[in-house]
Amino acid sequence: MSAKEVNELIRQAAEKAMRETDSEPEPGLTEEINWPIKVELHRGLAGAISNTTQIGYVNGAKGWLIYRGFNCFDLAEKSSYEETCHLLLHGRLPSSSELSIFNEQLKKYRRVPQPVLDVLRMIPTESSHPMSALATAVSMLGNLDANSEDISVENETEISLKLISQMATLAGAIGRIRQGKEPLTPNPELSHAANFFYMLSGTVPDEMNERIMDVSLILHADHGMNASTFTTMVVNSSLSDMYSSVVGGISSLKGPLHGGANQQVVLNLREIGSVENVDSWYQKKRAAKEKVMGFGHRVYKAYDPRARIFGPIAKLMAEKSAENKTIYEIAAKLEEVVVSELGQERKIFPNVDFYSGIIYKAMGIDTDMFTPIFAVSRIAGWTARALEYLADNRLFRPRAVYTGPIKIDYKPIEDR
Ligand SMILES: CC(C)(COP(=O)(O)OP(=O)(O)OC[C@H]1O[C@@H](n2cnc3c(N)ncnc32)[C@H](O)[C@@H]1OP(=O)(O)O)[C@@H](O)C(=O)NCCC(=O)NCCS
């Protein structure tokens, strides 16, 4: 199977999406804002507006994902992760000479300082989650960078490039160490996606695996004011340094309601075990009022466009082994069952995490490394949005509604 076939699948997914969604923007969410504005507040800040941006747009009702005007289907089919990072950070697609310079900059930063690898080796793999190790590693990078406290946009942009490059090296090293192996030296001959695959698995990917990893990195690169992006921006808005801000983003992404879901999906599919068990497994979940991982989204009330791409790719990957095929068939059945009950009425559809884990699994990647792959990609959106906001910074500082008592007399400890 070739990279061309993967691109063809993406094109077909795009055509299907076009047929099913029309082209109306959301007036309230695609216009200049005159502050202050009135918004309704819901729990979890649902629907709240935090800032304006030119970086990316998610239209949840239509199922659109747009980076700086380009729809995700075009970028997934025709672009590369490096080009997408240039787009997000610098606001436009690069010319070929700009792309060569950008690639060289990223390659120059791939190696991480030795003390960071030493720290990673000290982390006990049995008790630690790889996302916690990743946060420690990025914090250590900051401690070692003599310029980390220079928070000028220029220096923070350079640090962002470094972090985009090094997140892949760190995730690769963590994956290897967790398997009791030595971290690998980055290979400057390879693209970002291929080098990441190599550092994680020890094997240079074939054309198809490189393309699929690249597509995955492109599709996870940015996604509105999701929890980890907002966390990164909140930390950065206090004029903290970019490393500390990104540590915040990693910590937020770790949770199963956010980036940790794809790992859970694969564990659930394994637990289900066979297509015949899907119905009863789902009914038990519903009876226990538990959510099904990989479904639902705060913003998308339509089919997640990333899942539109990952679904067919997961099917393609399923052909690789009998085990992959079974996992895919269970997933496809689970989608059918969940969507038939919750799709029409509750607008609950598969999200990006439903099929991504199946793809990584078919690539031979360990389940606990799925969320770090998300971080290797999302670092682009975190830093691009933090930099955009930094240029016209104002500290994020909402308020809470206090519901406790106001006036209680203080009693000495012996009288309580
Ligand atoms: C993503 C997510 C956190 C969004 O949450 P949210 O906007 O806060 O929505 P809520 O959790 O309040 O859910 C709203 C309703 O839909 C239901 N719902 C949401 N996701 C569901 C799911 N995956 N399975 C079953 N029901 C779900 C909730 O039970 C709730 O029902 P209720 O109104 O009867 O109580 C949520 O859909 C979820 O937990 N999904 C599973 C985890 C996941 O896949 N995360 C990756 C996101 S990319």
Residue owning the nearest CA to atom 9 of ligand 1: 298
**Reduced to 3 states, what is the DSSP secondary structure of residue 255?**
coil
Q: Domain limits of the chain?
A: 3-261+363-390, 262-362
Ligand 1 in contact with 296 (CB < 6 A)? yes
Q: Residue 33 has what pLDDT? A: 86
Q: Residue 357 has what pLDDT? A: 92
286 C-alpha to center of ligand 1: Å? 12
Those residues with Cβ within 8 angstroms of residue 148's Cβ, 6 or more apart along the chain or in another chain: 142, 159, 241, 242, 243
Q: Which mean pLDDT values do the consecutive 10-residue runs of the chain (416 residues) have?
A: 90 90 74 88 93 95 95 97 98 98 98 98 96 98 97 96 98 98 97 98 97 98 97 98 98 92 93 96 96 94 95 93 94 96 92 94 94 97 98 96 95 96
Q: Residue 29 has what pLDDT? A: 82
The reported pTM is: 0.95
Q: Which residue of the set 297, 366, 392, 409 is catalytic? A: 297
Closest-CA residue to 71 (of 2, 9, 6, 11): 11
Domains 3-261+363-390 and 262-362 share a fold: no
Ligand 1 in contact with 44 (CB < 6 A)? yes
Distance CA 190, CA 199 (A): 11
- 86 is an active site residue: no
Domain 262-362 in CATH 1.10.230.10? The answer is: yes
Distance CA 75, CA 84 (A): 7
290 C-alpha to center of ligand 1: Å? 9
- For residue 299, CA distances in Å to 68, 105, 109, 252, 350 come to 18, 35, 35, 18, 13
Q: Residue 31 has what pLDDT? A: 83
Q: Residue 22 has what pLDDT? A: 66
335 C-alpha to center of ligand 1: Å? 15
- 220 is an active site residue: no
Ligand 1 in contact with 352 (CB < 6 A)? yes
Q: Per-residue DSSP letters for 312-342? A: HHHHHHHTT-HHHHHHHHHHHHHHHHHHHHH
Given this structure, which CATH class describes domain 3-261+363-390?
mainly alpha
Ligand 1 in contact with 306 (CB < 6 A)? no
Q: Per-residue DSSP letters for 112-178? A: --HHHHHHHHHS-TTT--HHHHHHHHHHHHHHH-TTTT---HHHHHHHHHHHHHHHHHHHHHHHHHH
Those residues with Cβ within 8 angstroms of residue 108's Cβ, 6 or more apart along the chain or in another chain: 165
Residues 216, 46, 296, 31: is their CA dihedral positive or negative? negative
Ligand 1 in contact with 298 (CB < 6 A)? yes
Ligand 1 in contact with 295 (CB < 6 A)? yes
Amino acid letter for position 248: G
Bond prior to 36 in cis (omega within 30° of 0): yes
Closest-CA residue to 158 (of 382, 391, 372, 383): 383
Q: In b/e form, how buried is each residue of 71-106, taking b as 16+ CB within 10 angstroms?
A: bbbebbbebbbbbbbbbbbeeebbeeeeeeebbeeb
